[in-house]
Amino acid sequence: MGTGLSKDADGSSHGNEGEENPDHAGGQLYVSLKMENYRLKAELIPHVYGSVPLVGSWDSSKALSMEPESASMWELSFVVPSNHETLDFKFLLKPKYSNSPCVVEEGPNRLLTRGTLQGESRLAVFKNGDVTVEFRVFIKADRVSPFDLAASWRVYQENLQPSTVRGIPDVSINSVPMAGIENGSPASLELDLEHYVVPAPSTSANSAFVYAANNTENPRFSNVDCPGNASYSFKDSGVSADQPTTIKEMEVVIPDPSKVYSGSGMVESKSVGTFSSLQKQDGHRGLFVDRGVGSPRVVKSSSSSAFSCDLKLDTETKNSMPAAAGAVAAGAVADQMLGPKEDRHLAIVLVGLPARGKTFTAAKLTRYLRWLGHDTKHFNVGKYRRLKHGANQSADFFRADNPEGMEARNEVAALAMDDMIAWMQEGGQVGIFDATNSTRKRRNMLMKMAEGKCKLQIIFLETLCNDEHIIERNIRLKIQQSPDYAEQPDFEAGLQDFKSRLSNYEKVYEPVEEGSYIKMIDMVSGHGGQIQVNNISGYLPGRIVFFLVNTHLTPRPILLTRHGESRDNVRGRIGGDTVLSDAGEIYAKKLANFVEKRLKSEKAASIWTSTLQRTIITASPIIGFPKIQWRALDEINAGVCDGMTYEEIKKNMPEEYEARRKDKLRYRYPRGESYLDVIQRLEPVIIELERQRAPVVVISHQAVLRALYAYFADRPLKEIPHIEVPLHTIIEIQMGVTGVQEKRYKLMD
């Protein structure tokens, strides 16, 4: 991912400069052309045309449109062989709404050779009568290997075909309709899907909403007694509120998917180049064009600890496909992006006004880090306040000019911070400190408390929202669900009280400008936004940024199900790649019927399977949705035990059988995998599921679905090998602003 050579417009390079043969193994160049003009009217659209057919063969009517990245920046990205022939081209401007003549840039043709733009021209000049328009021109080229492209190849023709760059694709796409089932088939379902609902396990994801703060850590103090050293003063904190901040190293602009275009979202950092890993097929002669669909890439500069991201959102609902980060890159992402793990503890301190999604973001981040195996706890100061001072505090309690209220709120914040630090000193790794922390004084207090404590690094995570509709929705949810208003019978009275509380915070709110921080700006809506990152370095901080760039709150269901019963299931043999039994074939038809009814209005939904035939066959009766095969969704590799029964393993390999029985989570089959290995390779799948805005049906295998389900249900790692995922049952995970809920449908015994 992003390996090899990267060149700027001036020809300078960074990366693997010592490569002896840059063209070895058919290396490709990912090229990004950009034009910038702050005064261009929207009626004129920049295009590229030139010597190759894809960009018109010098026919302006066939010129390739550039895509708007922002109000002032236009971008076109494509992939060419590293030893490609010289590309001859020019920029031109086309009227958007009229048949007026195109305006071609002045000067000689531009020449692109091996990812380098020949000549010194950094401006594109257009003359239309007496009017002269100038654009700044940028180019960025990054060498990618066929290995990279195999994981991220994008297919954009009407008949979507699997990528065969490496022979066996990591992600294959096939939307060719399969033979449907007859309406009168005995495998059809009753119209009312509720008939098939079965109770979820008691330890499952919430079947009904539970206020997120209630699931956070309990205070160590009792309701009556409180440690005498829990009071902290803001005076002489030792941390200056006015200290100069470092330069922002990254800003990621996330386009609004509701717009008519697909903005590329690519932002260039001064210290680090930006890359896109995904290309869509849109032509021939080995030239591929990215039309604004991709997944984030985070890379680490050899000379800087800053990160740069590229986030692109797919807005084409007809054939919406996951922009797969690639199972083949799962193990390499962290090392390439972040380097080795550090021996230190991390505190993520939330900052933001009430009703901005802080607690939801904290809960989601906690769940992700726990699933990856990092010891993480969520400390909610509001929970401490309710236990210490009661839940029925009016808006006056939160006034900045109320000394008693200020003292009480600072006290519980200090208690929560004390508990988090004490837990870290006992071995905890990541603490998420959830509160408004809306002033520099409060944040300085927390930093002062953390000084010299267990190698503790603090990163502020600020959530900002400017959408009044989103804020109003969150406020109303707060009144309905927060324990603060559980005893308030009058909804409107509670609403006015909360708005008064919010006004009290707004009067003294100070945005984060100090220390290390991540700002999430208008991200909670799920309709684009910005992420700003300052002074972030290290393994876990980078992982957190990567996750936050990809996550959103758009409600959508994710359906998890095992393949229909296979012949090896009947025989009790593990692994293998056999076809379905008779019962499995019936389930496949019932599943198709279920998906048709459940997702009949969800035209952008997709079906994900493994590359093993029992999942592909199970999905085959489903029509009307694109189908995507992931090697990452393949069953756990049983190694030398593949095809054996557990009785045969016990008889012939008793030591292996006993080792597995003692620790199923960490046990690795000889020449095979462990559950921890499965979790590692599933991370790109989790990221893609978080990115999806449309429903996804995942048809996979028992061990894989145990790991996926554990992520959504926030189950401990040690429980994963024992999670119940029965055959012929659908687990529906509903994701949205209120958290994660679960529903189960048993289609047949």
> Can you spell out the DSSP letters for 534-553?
ES--SHHHHHHHHHHHH---
The CATH number that applies at residue 719 is 3.40.50.1240
* 8 located within any domain: no
Strand partners, 684: none
Distance separating alpha carbons of residues 261 and 256, to the nearest angstrom:
9
* 307 located within any domain: no
Whether residue 681 sits in one domain with residue 587: yes
Stronger pLDDT, 564 or 237, i.e. the higher one: 564
- Which residues form the domain of 119? 28-155
Cα torsion 151, 156, 159, 165 to 10°: value is -30
Whether residue 83 sits in one domain with residue 47: yes
The CATH number that applies at residue 507 is 3.40.50.300
pLDDT score of 673: 93
Q: Is 266 exposed, middle or buried (0-12, 13-18, 19+ CB in 10 A)?
A: buried
Q: Does the pLDDT value for residue 581 go beyond 70?
A: yes
Which candidate in 84, 345, 374, 563 is catalytic?
A: 563
Whether residue 675 sits in one domain with residue 599: yes
Q: Does the pLDDT value for residue 94 go beyond 80?
A: yes
Stronger pLDDT, 524 or 227, i.e. the higher one: 524
Q: Does the pLDDT value for residue 352 go beyond 90?
A: yes
Distance separating alpha carbons of residues 566 and 581, to the nearest angstrom:
5
Q: For this structure, is 465 an active site residue?
A: yes
When divided into structural domains, the chain yields a total of 3
* 236 located within any domain: no
Residue 659 — very low, low, confident or very high, per pLDDT cuts 50/70/90? Answer: very high
Average pLDDT, the chain: 74
Residue 489 — very low, low, confident or very high, per pLDDT cuts 50/70/90? Answer: confident
Q: What is the mean pLDDT of residues 290-302?
A: 29
Q: For this structure, is 249 an active site residue?
A: no
Stronger pLDDT, 232 or 85, i.e. the higher one: 85
Q: What is the mean pLDDT of residues 84-106?
A: 80
Contacts 24+ apart (CB under 8 A), 103-106: 103/44, 103/127, 103/128, 103/133, 104/60
Distance separating alpha carbons of residues 454 and 352, to the nearest angstrom:
26
Residue 11 — very low, low, confident or very high, per pLDDT cuts 50/70/90? Answer: very low
What is each CA distance from 558 to 44, 546, 551, 712, in whole angstroms?
Answer: 41, 21, 15, 10
Q: Does the pLDDT value for residue 690 go beyond 80?
A: yes
* 700 located within any domain: yes
pLDDT digits (tens, 9 = 90+) for 451-484: 888 788 999 999 998 888 888 988 888 888 888 8
Which candidate in 75, 411, 434, 634 is catalytic?
A: 434
Whether residue 519 sits in one domain with residue 645: no
Q: What is the mean pLDDT of residues 705-710?
A: 96
pLDDT score of 246: 37
CB 467, CB 525: distance < 8 Å: yes
Rg (CA), the chain: 28
Q: Does the pLDDT value for residue 701 go beyond 70?
A: yes
The CATH number that applies at residue 48 is 2.60.40.10
Q: Which of 47-51, 246-250, 602-606 has the highest mean pLDDT?
A: 602-606
* Helix boundaries (H) for 535-674: 539-550, 567-571, 582-598, 613-619, 646-652, 654-662
Domain final residue pick, 550, 577, 600? 550
pLDDT digits (tens, 9 = 90+) for 241-275: 333 333 344 454 444 444 433 333 322 222 222 22
Closest by alpha carbon to 283, among 48, 35, 116?
Answer: 48
Stronger pLDDT, 625 or 298, i.e. the higher one: 625
Q: Does the pLDDT value for residue 562 go beyond 50?
A: yes
Which candidate in 411, 635, 690, 732 is catalytic?
A: 635
* 266 located within any domain: no
* 119 located within any domain: yes
Domain final residue pick, 512, 528, 550? 550
Whether residue 569 sits in one domain with residue 501: no
Which candidate in 217, 314, 345, 465 is catalytic?
A: 465
pLDDT digits (tens, 9 = 90+) for 419-450: 999 999 999 999 999 999 999 999 999 999 99
Q: Does the pLDDT value for residue 194 go beyond 80?
A: no
Whether residue 521 sits in one domain with residue 401: yes
Strand partners, 271: none
pLDDT score of 257: 41
Whether residue 665 sits in one domain with residue 716: yes
Whether residue 572 sits in one domain with residue 497: no
Domain final residue pick, 155, 175, 192? 155
For CA atoms 564, 567, 568, 570, give the dihedral sign. positive
What residue type is 229 in one-letter code? N
Whether residue 624 sits in one domain with residue 518: no
Q: For this structure, is 563 an active site residue?
A: yes
Q: What is the mean pLDDT of residues 403-409?
A: 93
Q: What is the mean pLDDT of residues 25-42?
A: 70
pLDDT digits (tens, 9 = 90+) for 97-155: 667 788 888 888 888 877 677 766 788 888 888 888 888 888 877 776 554 444 444 33
* 409 located within any domain: yes
Q: For this structure, is 434 an active site residue?
A: yes
Distance separating alpha carbons of residues 547 and 296, to the nearest angstrom:
10
* 513 located within any domain: yes
Whether residue 428 sits in one domain with residue 410: yes
Q: Report the b/e string of 172-208 with b at 16+ CB within 10 A.
A: bbbbeeeeebeeeeebbbeeebeebeeebeeebbbee
459's tokens: 């990163």
% residues pLDDT > 70 (the chain): 66
Q: Does the pLDDT value for residue 305 go beyond 80?
A: no
Whether residue 638 sits in one domain with residue 499: no
Q: What is the mean pLDDT of residues 708-732?
A: 93
Q: Does the pLDDT value for residue 237 go beyond 80?
A: no
Q: Does the pLDDT value for residue 343 go beyond 70?
A: no
For CA atoms 254, 629, 372, 413, give the dihedral sign. positive
The 10 Å Cβ neighbour count of residue 170 is: 24
Whether residue 680 sits in one domain with residue 571: yes
pLDDT score of 616: 95
